[in-house]
Amino acid sequence: MSEQIRGFLCELTSKIGWDGVTALGTAALAILGILTALYAKRQLEDFRKESRIKHLIDLVDQFEREPLAGYRKSLGQVRAPQGILQPLDVDDPPPALYDVINFFEHMGYLLAGNYLELDGVFVEFHYWILHVWADARELVKNEQSEDPVYYEYFERMEKHMEEYERKRKGRFVLPSTTDIEDFYAQEAHLTSGSPIPRQKRSIRRKRSGKPPSPANSGSSSV
C-alpha cells in the first residue's frame, strides 16, 4: 500500500473513527453490489432481446419455406380458386387451413410467453395474421365451442394486432371478402423460399374472377 493511501486512511480514521470507516466500507460494498446487479440485468435484457430476434427470424424462415410455403399455396388455391372466395365448411375445412392456423397458434404462444416482441410480429406477420383470421374466425369459434383452449393464442395475437393498428392509425377494419380473395390469390402463386413481401394488402382487382398477376401485386413498407 502506498504511503499516500496509508496517510489518507489514517487521516480518515482519525476524523470519523473506525465505526465511520466500517460504515463507508459497507456503503461502498452495497453500491458495488447494486452496480453489479444493474449490469447483470442489462446483460440479461440484451440476451433476451437477441433471443426474441432469433425466434422471429426462425419463424420468418419457417413461413417462407417448406412445408409451410406449400400449405399456404395449397390453402390459397383451395379457398379462392379463380380468385373467388369459397364458403368455409367449419365441419370439414381444408387441412391446409389447420396447418396455417396451427403455425399462428404457436407464434401466439411464443408472443404470450414474451419470447417474441409485438412490434416484430406486427411488422413481419400482421398481413397474414389478419387475413387468415378474417377468413378462419368462424372455424376458430366452432373449435372453441368444444374447448375454449383451442387456438386461444392465435385469437389473442390477432387482438393484439387490432389494438396495435388502432393505436397506429386511429381505426381498424378487418379485411373484407375482396381483400381475402386478393390475399389468397397471391398466396396461390407462392414460390417456396421467396421472401415474404412487406405489404399490407394487394392491389385491388377488378371483379373479373381472375387472380392478380404476381408481377403486378406491388408492395409497400409498413
The one-letter amino acid at 184 = Y
Burial of 117 (C-beta count, 10 Å sphere; 0-12/13-18/19+): middle
Out of 12-26, 57-71, 91-105, 140-154, which region has the weakest mean confidence (pLDDT)? 12-26
Residue 184 pLDDT exceeds 60: yes
> Which residues, 6 or more positions from 132, have their beta carbon under 8 angstroms from its beta carbon?
97, 100, 101, 104
Please report where in the chains the cell 389478419 appears, as a residue.
130
Question: Quick one: pLDDT band at residue 152, thresholds 50, 70, 90?
Answer: very high
For residue 41, what is its C-alpha cell? 440485468
Cα separation values, 142 from 148, 153, 177, Å: 10, 15, 20
The one-letter amino acid at 59 = L
**Dist. CA 108–CA 12, nearest whole Å:** 61
The answer to whether 104 and 150 are in contact (CB under 8 A) is no
Higher-pLDDT residue of 155 and 193 is 155
**Residue from 87, 85, 82 nearest 211 by CA:** 82
Write out pLDDT tens, residues 89-139. 999 999 999 999 999 999 999 999 999 999 999 999 999 999 999 999 999
Write out pLDDT tens, residues 61-83. 999 999 999 999 999 999 999 99
**Residue from 58, 39, 120 nearest 47 by CA:** 39
What is the SS3 string spanning 71-91?
HHHHHHHHHCHHHCCCCCCCC
**Dist. CA 84–CA 209, nearest whole Å:** 6
The one-letter amino acid at 192 = S
Question: Quick one: pLDDT band at residue 180, thresholds 50, 70, 90?
Answer: very high
The answer to whether 137 and 88 are in contact (CB under 8 A) is no
Burial of 217 (C-beta count, 10 Å sphere; 0-12/13-18/19+): middle
> H or E stretch including 11?
helix 3-64
Q: What is the pLDDT of residue 222?
A: 35
The CA-based angle 149-154-157, given to 5 degrees, is 125
